[in-house]
Amino acid sequence: MTIYEDEWAFWDDIVGRYILKHAGTESNTANIIDAAAYYADSMVVARRKRKRVKLSVSGTAADISDAPAAI
Q: Where are the domains of the chain?
A: 8-60
pLDDT at 47: 92
Q: 15-42 b/e with 16+ CB inside 10 Å = b?
A: beebeeeeeeeeeeeeebeeebbeebee
Mean pLDDT in residue range 44-55: 88
pTM score, whole prediction:
0.65
Mean pLDDT of 22-40: 87
- Is pLDDT at 2 greater than 70 in this prediction? yes
Q: What is the pLDDT of residue 71?
A: 54
